Structures are given as C-alpha cells and as structure tokens.
Chains A and B, each alone.
Chain A
Amino acid sequence: MSKKLTFSISDTINAFITTIPEIEYTDGNLSGTTVAIKDNISTKGIETTCASKILRGYIPPYDAHVVSLLKSAGAAIVGKTNMDEFGMGTTTENSAFGPTLNPCDNNRVPGGSSGGSAAAIAAGYCDMALGSDTGGSIRCPAAFCGIVGLKPSYGRVSRYGLIAYANSLEQIGPMAKDVTGVSRLFSVIAGHDKRDSTSVDRPYTHTPDPSIKGLRIGLPSEFFGEGVDPKVADTVKQAISTLEKAGAEAVPCSMPSMSHALAAYYVICTSEASSNLARFDGIRYGPGGDLRKSWHEEFSDRRQERFGKEVRRRIILGTFSLAAGYFGRYYQKAQTARQMVRDDFTRLFKEVDLVAGPTMPSIAFKLKEKSDPLQMYLSDILTVPANLAGVPAISVPCGKVDGMPVGLQLIGKHFEDEKVIDAAFAYEQEAA
C-alpha cells in the first residue's frame, strides 16, 4: 500500500544537494524509514550530480540497484547528499555546491567524501543514508560526525548505478546512527546483481550479536604510530579495553605493507579515475557545449570549466601514472604493493579474527585547514588498506577528543562482514 511522507528540514549545514518534499513509499522492512542517498548513486527522475558542475541537470533514466532495493523495502528516499566532487576528497569541501559543515562543530568539516550523508544523519535530518567508500569515504565522515558507517566486502553490494570513480576499490555501504541501523540497511542492499560482474551471491540476513567472548583482535603498531594524534590513539585504546572487558583478546601485531599502501592507493585510484572520467564530455549528458568549436578544444575547455581542481589534479596524476614509460614505475608497482597489503591481511587473519585501530588519525579538521593535496591524502592512511584488499571495515563512535567524535575502526576477513558488525555492536552495547 502506498503512503506519503512530507520531508521538510532547515538544512543549515548544506548536507543535501537535492531534497524531495513529498515522498511516496510502500510497506516493507524499511517502510517509512527516511534514507538519504549520496549524489553519485543514480536515482531515476532525480537529478544526480556527483557534486560536479559537469553533471548539473543530469536526470538518470534508471535507478541504481541499491535504490531499487530500497524502494522495494519501503524506504522513503528523502534526497541526495553533498559530497566531494566524484568522491575525491576527505572533507566534502571539494563540492561544486559548497562545503557541508560538521553538525558537531560548524567550523569543522564533516569528513569525506560521503560527508553530506554522515552529516544528515548526525544532524537528525534522516534515519539512515547510503555512502560510497573508495579509500575511506564512508568511514571517515562516520568517524568525524560520530555515527556508524560500514564499507562492505568488495562484491557484496552491487555497484550498478554508482557513477564510477575507481571501480576496483569502491563499494556502496550503509550509514546510520547506530550499528543496528547499519545492519538493517545492509540487509536490504546486500546480495547478487547480475548487472555488476563483480557482484557475489552473499546476502546479509544477520542480526547483530554482542557475544564476542574469545574474539581475537589484532592491533597493528602502524595504526597507533607516527602521524596519529596521541589523544585519538589513547581514546581508541580505551575502546579496545572495553572490548576486552566484553571477552575479546587484544593481540599486538604488525602490518609492514602500510608503508606503501597509501602511495599504491593513490596511483590506482587516480589511474582508474583518469579512465572513468573520460566519459564526461558534455555531449550525452550535462549542461551541453559549444558545437562550433573542434572536438578537443571544446572537450578540453568544458572539462576545465566544469571539473573542480581536485578532479583535474587526479586526472592529470592518473594519466601520468598510466603513460607509456611510467606504467611500470607507478601502476605495476602499485599493484605489487596492493598484493602485499592483501598478503598482510591474509597472514594476520590466520592469527586474529579482526584488526582494529583508529578510523582517522585525527579529529575533524577545521574548514580550509588542509589546503595542501599531499597532506590531505596522508590523512587516508588508516582507511585505504581495507579498500586495497577488498575486506570489510566499520567505523563506530568510541568517545571524544576536544569535544569531537573519534571512530574505532574494525576490519575483518573478506565476506566476514557479520563478525565486524558483531564486534561494533558489542562495543556499542558495552560502552552505553
């Protein structure tokens, strides 16, 4: 039976690019639950911009698989959330629609690139949201805004209808105020979709279980070392103690591949981006162009005008990494480093059930604080290993530093998303 919901908010933090004032929804597991969708996920009939001028006015003629699933489950889709343009960033400042503000402190960023989704939940505008995570883009804003965000195992959620940035790394995932909400949303979006050839038949039907007696949690020294704010590291160590009180065992360990993981990640994601973003020529969709010019002149001018600086920088870096003469030096070596990260996780998961550490090395940055691109990239160091290996990882709030939320990151073995969710739930219950 079709029902109606009115969505009316005063969006003082710029969490949404588009809102839907009147929503029709049906019965189902998520009937009437308000869900926001990151603006890089296609929604039939609703403008989808990737927070970019180059897609302004684009109305997808089809729904992403996850959106079809949400509609079938009766979710009320309330709008499209702000993000770093094409998912490129760690702050949601790289948006053609202006930055989103962190609801916990409006002078700070909400994290990125799914900053609008996290902020919308933290501000109480909606119950749940979808984000996408290429190098931490769900977990980072979850940590900075004090909510829960899961990057599922690669393949567990269809990417059909997700506007591609770096296909081999990115996953759509659930975000909510608590682990139960994330689990409910994940149960709707996980499962096989034949339209995504990397999709696997692993539906999620689990109910979070807080009994973690005997669970072995590895703490790589690299997650608590140089570059990590000692106050953040201490807060996360206290959270680990809480898990120990609940019956888990903390095991010191090491992840040597971390030294190369970030460079490998940025070579791979910029390379894939340079290829994926070649499709944006303003001809088939977007604001259109000047057809009196020649192809390359028009294409080049429009992309300069309508792509933000971070997007153009990554396309240049990716084109360079893939160029003849440099391919072996950058891209192939990055694949070697990626395999080393996978090997490290395989070795660790023979000894432990989960790997834990901070989600982000610091609390949320102040707006415009990170103006140097490399310094910004370095803040992704703790989240990118899970994307390189395709393993599941969650961020759950675990306390505050200087009044701002800190996230505990729990990383699991491929397809053991249930175990990651259980441990996050156990922490949440024990800390409550």
Chain B
Amino acid sequence: MVNSEDVRKIAKLADIGVDDGEIEEFTSQCSEILTYFEMLDTLPQGKGVDRGLINIFREDEVTDSLSQEEALKNAKETENGYFKAPRVM
C-alpha cells in the first residue's frame, strides 16, 4: 500500500510531474498493483539466480562514433558544439 505522500515523493525522485488531481488516481492504482505484487512476499529471499552470465569484453580500440554534428542534430538548443541544458544549481 502507498499513500499520496509516497506517490508525491516517488514522482519527485523520478522527475515525473504529477498534478494534485492525478495524485488520488495514481495512489489508488499503484496501491492496487503493489498489493498484487505482495504475493511475492511468500517467496524465499535470495534464491540463487542462475542466468549463466559471462562477461563480454572487446579490445580497447578506437572505433568510429557519431560525428559531433550528428550527435547534436536532434537537439533544439546548442551552443558552440555543446548541448544547451537548463541550469542545475
């Protein structure tokens, strides 16, 4: 179960804006879904997961990449060959 404050906090963490009007809807839907997820509580913790994973390495060689022009092509705001972003501080 989650309450509206939980949803607000999670939405803020994930940078997903939510309106006051949406909070109630998301809270009730997420609560219902998380209650369904609680069936996982009956399972043992940390049963070994066997995926047969192996590391994939490649030689550390210089290869072609997108040109600066191509990389910037889809950005709406650029300056001197850089992406222009909102201020962080």
Q: Is B43 an interface residue (CB 8 A)?
A: yes
Q: Is A6 an interface residue (CB 8 A)?
A: no
Contacts of A377 in B (CB 8 A): 33, 36
* Cβ distance B15 to chain A, nearest Cβ, rounded Å: 5
* CB within 8 Å of B: which A31-76 residues: 57-59, 61-62
Also in contact, A339 and B40, with CB within 8 A (given A304-B17, A320-B30): no
Cα–Cα, bound, A303→B12 (Å): 11
* Cβ distance A49 to chain B, nearest Cβ, rounded Å: 12
Cα–Cα, bound, A291→B76 (Å): 11
Q: Is A432 an interface residue (CB 8 A)?
A: no
B contacts with A: majority SS:
loop
Cα–Cα, bound, A73→B5 (Å): 54
Interface size grouping (class) on chain B: 35 or more
Cα–Cα, bound, A313→B85 (Å): 26
Q: Is A350 an interface residue (CB 8 A)?
A: no
* CB within 8 Å of A: which B25-44 residues: 26, 29-30, 32-34, 36-37, 39-41, 43-44
From A134-142, A202-210, A280-288, give the one contacting chain B: A280-288
Indicate the member of A57, A61, A303, A373 with the most B CB atoms within 10 Å.
A61
Q: Is A429 an interface residue (CB 8 A)?
A: no
The contact string, 1 if C-beta is below 8 Å from chain B, for chain A 265-306, is 011000000100010011111111111111111111101110
* CB within 8 Å of B: which A327-359 residues: 328-330, 332-340, 342
Instruction: Out of B6, B19, B88, name the residue touching A295 (CB < 8 Å).
Output: B88
CB pair B49–A339 under 8 Å, yes or no, is: yes
Of all A-B residue pairs in the complex, the 10 with the closest CB atoms, nearest first, are: A288-B76, A304-B17, A285-B74, A333-B40, A197-B56, A61-B70, A336-B47, A319-B14, A300-B17, A298-B86
Given contacts A282-B76, A288-B76, A374-B29, 12 further A-B contacts (CB under 8 A): A260-B40, A283-B86, A284-B74, A284-B75, A291-B86, A294-B86, A305-B17, A313-B30, A320-B6, A332-B45, A373-B33, A377-B33
